[in-house]
Structure 1
């Protein structure tokens, strides 16, 4: 960790993930709209500046969160699934449900109407709710209302003139999917000889070392008891969520998995 203008900023580790992202960042422009923001400006969490359409604040510590669900099983047996994209504050605190007036429903219809049917198709395979907790639609609505409405760069006033209602939510879902595609957690673990097993156990440090070898940064790992079931990949952002550069960083704190005895169970 290094101090920057009074803030703690995790050091970006070098590695194959960073190299694959042009050395330092991930840039994926959505097809629907452009923010008009530069991607050469300051990184989020680099100052105490207020949030604007082109500088994400206060939620500039961004987490792409993934699930590994085995009971009940959700998603493909050879892939983690999407949980969300969360804008934590730079000190690790967070806000939620920031604008109830934009708690959109019928996310499927919104995406289809605004030309994002391919994003919807991907979500139907890789962004799945636990059936015991409700429908996929309810999950998507929750993630947008709880987290998506809190991004300063996704305020309706930041959109191009004439944008249809809900365009910022469409951009959010497109970006979550695009970012998730750059984070093949299953592939990275198996590349390092770590495979789902009902008997093999791992240490926290061995799992994070394997992922760091592939990604160049260290994620946070969460468990249900001793069973690995969630991962947090962290980023700072230069520009807008719509089409900015997501710069990978190591997790500012450890996840809640135990130090040893961790199982990565198979999906059966």
Structure 2
């Protein structure tokens, strides 16, 4: 990356103009994006499916009760973002072919990212670093990580070709940055410090999770659930993901912020129903069904 102190001052913030020049910052300094960092609870979603499903019990058992990385997502500074583009999702699942297209740059997409990195001793180290934390709910970590780079990494300005001329260097930077943000946003500890611990019987409210997130990180989060989220069925809902909204600052640092206040009301999306108890589960639901 070659940018100067003038093009990347210490006060730079993504989605904001330079107050001195009234111009956008160098894209290699900060991306022109608001970010969501999504963490998947290990009993949550699997991604290589036509519709969201509960993770396989065997995968959940192997990982244990922890949050894992879903991804670092760049948007258009207004809460909208590039949607997934499929070749033929249903057919792709049926015959096992790669069916995931790219977000923004087809020339920098790779459907076998882990294979590409593992074949090169200069890049294989990053796989060991992320392996415990970036897990596909169906066991296909390669598909999930490749998907996250193809859909989101190629849409992130500060990982673009002008900043990282080679695909491998960009991908390693993307994976390392994502891992550092994951370590920064330690949800399990934040919840534990607020008295929220995994249980199959004790329930919590969305407000309790929100208060814990604000206390730990200084800004609201967004909470996604599976189960009785619409309030029309019986029983509770199950926590599956937590999203933290972030602003990028220089040197690939990300600061939690209140997106509803800065970007606009309704930017933050909560899938958990605020009026229904939430189970922060210990064991998976093997039947993939909810009461």
Q: Shorter chain as normaliser: what TM range? A: 0.7 to 0.9
Unaligned 5+ segments in structure 2 are 18-22, 44-54, 84-102, 228-236, 261-267, 285-291
8 Å Cα contact 1:51-1:152 kept in structure 2: no
Partner of 2:158: 153
Unaligned 5+ segments in structure 1 are 1-33
Equivalent residues in 2 for 1:83-162, closer than 5 Å: 83-96=70-83, 97-112=103-118, 113=120, 115-131=122-138, 135-159=140-164
8 Å Cα contact 2:126-2:172 kept in structure 1: no
8 Å Cα contact 1:119-1:177 kept in structure 2: no
Distance in 2, matches of 1:234 and 1:183, equals 11
- Name the TM-score, length of structure 1 as normaliser: 0.75
> Is the alpha carbon distance of 1:116 and 1:258 closer, same or farther for their aligned partners in structure 2, counting shifts above 3 Å?
same
Equivalent residues in 2 for 1:170-189, closer than 5 Å: 170-189=172-191
Q: Rg bigger for which structure?
A: 2
Higher relative contact order (CA 8 A, sep 6+): 1
Counterpart check, 1:265 vs 2:281: yes
Q: 1:221 aligns with which of 223, 226, 230?
A: 223
8 Å Cα contact 2:42-2:63 kept in structure 1: no
Distance in 2, matches of 1:84 and 1:171, equals 14
Equivalent residues in 2 for 1:60-99, closer than 5 Å: 60-70=33-43, 71-72=55-56, 73-74=59-60, 76-96=63-83, 97-99=103-105
- Name the TM-score, length of structure 2 as normaliser: 0.70
Distance in 1, matches of 2:283 and 2:3, equals 43
8 Å Cα contact 1:237-1:246 kept in structure 2: yes
Tell me by how many angstroms 1:227 deviates: 0.7
Q: RMSD value over aligned CA atoms?
A: 2.3
Partner of 2:31: 56
8 Å Cα contact 1:219-1:233 kept in structure 2: yes
Distance in 2, matches of 1:45 and 1:247, equals 13
Q: 2:257 aligns with which of 241, 249, 259?
A: 249
Distance in 1, matches of 2:2 and 2:38, equals 24
Distance in 2, matches of 1:66 and 1:220, equals 11
> How many aligned positions are there?
225
Partner of 2:92: none
Equivalent residues in 2 for 1:15-26, closer than 5 Å: none
